[in-house]
C-alpha cells in the first residue's frame, strides 16, 4: 500500500510538471539564413504558442537532402528526419530555417505520386512538418516579395502552420482565415489567412 501511494504521488508530480512546463522549441538556422529574420521568427513563435524558444548555432543544410530533378533543391522530408534525429534531448520540437529551395513529393491518399508525375515528384514548397511530430522545416525561397513586411508576415505564418502540424493539427476546415488552412499550392492562400490559429484549432491543442 505504501509503495503504491508513493508511486502514485510520484506519477502525480511528474504529470503536473509536464503539464505546467512550457514546451521547449529549438530553432536550427541553416547556411546564411538572415539573423534578423531568425530573431523575428523566435519572437513570433513565443507570442503565438507561448513556447520557450532557443536558437541553436548555425549549421550547413544537410548535403544528403540535395536533389537536382527540376532545379537545385533540398528534400524537406529528408531534412525533417535529420532534424528529428539530431534534436538535443531537452527540446520538444525543432524548427529548421533555410533560404534555399525545399521540396517534397506530392502524393495521393494511397501513396502514389500525384499526376502529372514530372510536376509532383519534386514539388517546391514553403514548409513541411510531421503531424504530429518533433520537427519541421521552413524555406523563405518561395515567400520572397519586394514588400519586406509582407515577406515577414508570410514567414511567420508558414512557421505557425508547420508548428501547428507538429502539434497534431490537420488542415483547418473551420475557417478560411485560419493559419492552418491548406496553402493549396498558392502563396495567395498564405497571404489571405491570419497569423494565428482559429478558435477551433486553438482549442484542439490546449
Ligand atoms: Zn499544411
Ligand atoms: Zn483553424
Cα(182) to ligand 1 centroid in Å equals 5
- In 3D space, the residue among 176, 175, 169, 174 whose CA is nearest the CA of residue 192 turns out to be 176
Please check whether residue 185 lies inside any domain of the structure: no
Cα(145) to ligand 2 centroid in Å equals 26
CATH assignment at residue 61: 3.40.390.10
Cα(85) to ligand 2 centroid in Å equals 29
Please check whether residue 139 lies inside any domain of the structure: yes
**Cell, residue 130:** 510531421
Cα(52) to ligand 1 centroid in Å equals 23
Please check whether residue 121 lies inside any domain of the structure: yes
Ligand closest to the CA atom of residue 176 = 2
Please check whether residue 18 lies inside any domain of the structure: no
Cα(100) to ligand 1 centroid in Å equals 19
Please check whether residue 194 lies inside any domain of the structure: no
Cα(205) to ligand 2 centroid in Å equals 11
Given this model, what pLDDT does residue 16 score?
46
Ligand closest to the CA atom of residue 194 = 2
Given this model, what pLDDT does residue 1 score?
47
Given this model, what pLDDT does residue 184 score?
86
Ligand closest to the CA atom of residue 138 = 1
**Cell, residue 95:** 524548427
Please check whether residue 141 lies inside any domain of the structure: yes
Ligand closest to the CA atom of residue 170 = 1
CA dist., res. 59 & res. 116, Å (int): 35
Q: What is the pLDDT along the chain (206 residues), one digit of tens a residue?
A: 455 555 554 454 444 445 678 999 999 999 999 999 999 999 999 999 999 999 999 999 999 999 999 999 999 999 999 999 999 999 999 999 999 999 999 999 899 999 999 999 999 999 999 999 999 999 999 999 999 999 999 999 999 999 999 999 999 999 999 999 999 889 999 999 999 999 999 999 97
User: Which residue in this structure is represented by grid cell 508525375?
Assistant: 117
Omega of the bond prior to 116 within 30 degrees of 0, cis?
yes
Ligand closest to the CA atom of residue 201 = 2
Please check whether residue 3 lies inside any domain of the structure: no
Alpha carbon separation from 67 to 40, 78, 102, 173 (Å, rounded): 30, 11, 10, 34
Cα(172) to ligand 2 centroid in Å equals 4
Cα(56) to ligand 1 centroid in Å equals 25
Given this model, what pLDDT does residue 185 score?
87
Please check whether residue 8 lies inside any domain of the structure: no
CA dist., res. 166 & res. 135, Å (int): 7
104: containing domain: 23-171
Ligand closest to the CA atom of residue 126 = 1
| Overall number of domains in the chain | 1
pTM of the model: 0.90
Amino acid at each position: 500500500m505504501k509503495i503504491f501511494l508513493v508511486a502514485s504521488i510520484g506519477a502525480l508530480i511528474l504529470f503536473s510538471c509536464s503539464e505546467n512546463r512550457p514546451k521547449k522549441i529549438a530553432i536550427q538556422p541553416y547556411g546564411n539564413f538572415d539573423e534578423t529574420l531568425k530573431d523575428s521568427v523566435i519572437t513570433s513563435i513565443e507570442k503565438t504558442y507561448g513556447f520557450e524558444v532557443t536558437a541553436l548555432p548555425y549549421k550547413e543544410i544537410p548535403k544528403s537532402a540535395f536533389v537536382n530533378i527540376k532545379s537545385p533543391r533540398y528534400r524537406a522530408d529528408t531534412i525533417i528526419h535529420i532534424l528529428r534525429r539530431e534534436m538535443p534531448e531537452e527540446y520538444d520540437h525543432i524548427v529548421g530555417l533555410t533560404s534555399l529551395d525545399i521540396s517534397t513529393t506530392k502524393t495521393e491518399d494511397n501513396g502514389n505520386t500525384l499526376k502529372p508525375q514530372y510536376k509532383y515528384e519534386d514539388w517546391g514548397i514553403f514548409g513541411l512538418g510531421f503531424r504530429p511530430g518533433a520537427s519541421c522545416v521552413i524555406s523563405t525561397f518561395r515567400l520572397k516579395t519586394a514588400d519586406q513586411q509582407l515577406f515577414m508576415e508570410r514567414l511567420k505564418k508558414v512557421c505557425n502552420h508547420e508548428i501547428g502540424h507538429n502539434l497534431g493539427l490537420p488542415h483547418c476546415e473551420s475557417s478560411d482565415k485560419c493559419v492552418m488552412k491548406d496553402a493549396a499550392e498558392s502563396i495567395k492562400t498564405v497571404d489571405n489567412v491570419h497569423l494565428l490559429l482559429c478558435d477551433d484549432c486553438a482549442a484542439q491543442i490546449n
